[in-house]
Amino acid sequence: MNKTTVKIPFVDLKIQHQPIETQLHQAIHAILERGDFILGQALADFEAAFAAASGAEYGVGVASGTDAIALGLQACNIGAGDEVILPANTFIATLIGVLRAGAKPILVDCDPKTALIDLSAAAKAITPQTKAIIPVHLYGQMVSPRQLLDFADTYKLLIFEDAAQAHLAERDGYRAGSVGIAAAFSFYPSKNLGAFGDGGMLLTRDPDVAQKMVRLRNYGASQKYFHVEPGTNSRLDTLQAAVLLEKLPHLPQWNRDRLTIAQQYDIELAPLASAGIIPVQNQSDSGHVYHLYVIKVDESCVVERQQIQDKLTADGIQTGIHYPIPCHLQPAFTYLGYQQGDFPQAEKLAQQILSLPMYPGLSSSQIKEVVAAIANIALPSSNTEDDSSVAIGSRAA
């Protein structure tokens, strides 16, 4: 079977790393020289720097974004008997983090325009056992902090941000990680700020939460060999922290590059709106950091999303779907009792969304090529009668 040559990758980290390759090697070499591989100086420096950049007081590095959620909720004293509200359309790590903390996840639907949590739906899900809400700052766009703070004040809930896709995102005068009592970040390699492997961090303004998190990530120890609570081993490696510390000063420019790319996508895609190709709405202006650029292939489009994705793949253009199955329909979590139809907006989005190539260094000509390939199949007028490989007509129900 012939393998299609990739012309435009979904993510290209080489473009990002090449200009700072020497500095990255030097940062790693410094750790090799010092030998402080676990809980070393570079970790402490990165924790302080990332917290300051995000508008938080404290940062605690852990092994993954999932651990940042699970241990972070525990550090906020959320556990057995507590209910935590979260959106159904998020990466499964958000749900797993709540379960690992021992709390009960309460899923709710989303806003179809932004794909962010629907706070009116969240309000209807509150019970006397509800203790916290997890707003997922999806695709690089924050849930409105003003609305969140009003919501939390009205219902007396903790705000625990899932900011895994929103490094330095801004909205309403707040940065991601500075709104709630705590926030979880991921440094998976493809994130806006990515490590050379897995990594995560909890940010918080509360010194007690920070200190408990420090214990939980290190076997529950308040000092060596003195364990005051059942913790685990989840520490951000010093090597990874050194890489992240070197990359952090470049993050604002990388985010600006992503915004510029998204703005060109918006312009190029505008003529396709009448054909049912609609970008997920940006309500944050320049505060959106576009970890992902996501379009919707809605009911008015003459072809299905899968046909568009297949066509792009055949043209050497990589895409993704974030996410194809909402949390409540994942086989592993049927025991939670949710069913098809419970969250119609999340289910509908899962069938429509398509993530286009997005990374600093994506060129203007590449963006035009991506959009032209979409137009070639989505616009009937751009297809010839001889092109039998494209199915034009009414979409299947």
pLDDT in tens, 240-278: 999 999 999 999 999 999 999 999 999 999 999 999 999
Overall average pLDDT of the 87-97 stretch: 98
pLDDT category, 129, cuts 50, 70, 90?
A: very high
Query: Is 191 noted as a catalytic residue in this protein?
Result: yes
> Does residue 330 register a pLDDT over 90?
yes
Closest of 317, 314, 320 to residue 389, by C-alpha = 314
pLDDT category, 384, cuts 50, 70, 90?
A: very low
Report the C-alpha gap between 139 and 351 in whole angstroms.
17
pLDDT of residue 3: 72
pLDDT single digits (tens) 290-318? 999 999 999 999 999 999 999 999 999 99
Tokens 């709405």: give the residue: 281
Report which DSSP code applies to 250. Answer: G
pLDDT category, 393, cuts 50, 70, 90?
A: very low
CB 174 within 8 A of CB 284: no
CB 84 within 8 A of CB 78: yes
Task: Say what percent of the chain tops pLDDT 90.
Answer: 94
Overall average pLDDT of the 138-163 stretch: 98
pLDDT of residue 391: 35
What is the set of domains in the chain, with CATH numbers?
Answer: 13-249 (3.40.640.10), 251-382 (3.90.1150.10)
Instruction: Determine how β-strand 200-204 pairs with β-strand 58-62.
Output: antiparallel
pLDDT category, 382, cuts 50, 70, 90?
A: low
Task: For residue 239, report the phi and psi dihedrals to the nearest 5 degrees.
Answer: -60, -45
pLDDT of residue 386: 40
- Three-class DSSP labels, 149-170: HHHHHHHCCEEEEECCCCCCCE
Report the C-alpha gap between 361 and 256 in whole angstroms.
11
Calculate the average pLDDT of the chain: 95
Q: Hey, what are 266's tokens?
A: 């918006």
Closest of 37, 282, 260, 13 to residue 140, by C-alpha = 282
CA distances from 161 to 137, 209, 283 (A): 7, 14, 18
> Does residue 394 register a pLDDT over 60?
no
pLDDT single digits (tens) 222-235? 999 999 999 999 99
Closest of 108, 93, 213, 96 to residue 165, by C-alpha = 93
- From the candidates 131, 191, 212, 296, give the one annotated as an active-site residue: 191
Answer yes or no: pTM beyond 0.85. Answer: yes
Give the Cβ contact number of residue 163 at 10 Å. Answer: 29
> Does residue 392 register a pLDDT over 50?
no
Instruction: Give all strands of the β-sheet with 158-162 in edge-to-edge order.
Output: 58-62, 200-204, 182-186, 158-162, 130-133, 83-87, 104-108
How many degrees, rounded to 5, is the angle at CA 204 between CA 199 and CA 207?
120
pLDDT single digits (tens) 25-84? 999 999 999 999 999 999 999 999 999 999 999 999 999 999 999 999 999 999 999 999
DSSP H helical segments within the chain, as ranges?
13-17, 21-34, 41-54, 65-75, 92-100, 119-124, 145-155, 207-216, 238-247, 251-269, 305-314, 344-352, 364-378
pLDDT of residue 1: 42
- Enumerate residues 6+ apart whose C-beta is below 8 A from 373: 311, 312, 315, 317
Strand partners, 277: 297
First-to-last alpha carbon distance for the chain, in angstroms, is: 32
> Does residue 335 register a pLDDT over 70?
yes
> Does residue 123 register a pLDDT over 50?
yes
pLDDT category, 381, cuts 50, 70, 90?
A: low
Identity of the amino acid at 156: K
> Does residue 387 register a pLDDT over 70?
no
Give the Cβ contact number of residue 364 at 10 Å. Answer: 11
> Does residue 102 register a pLDDT over 60?
yes
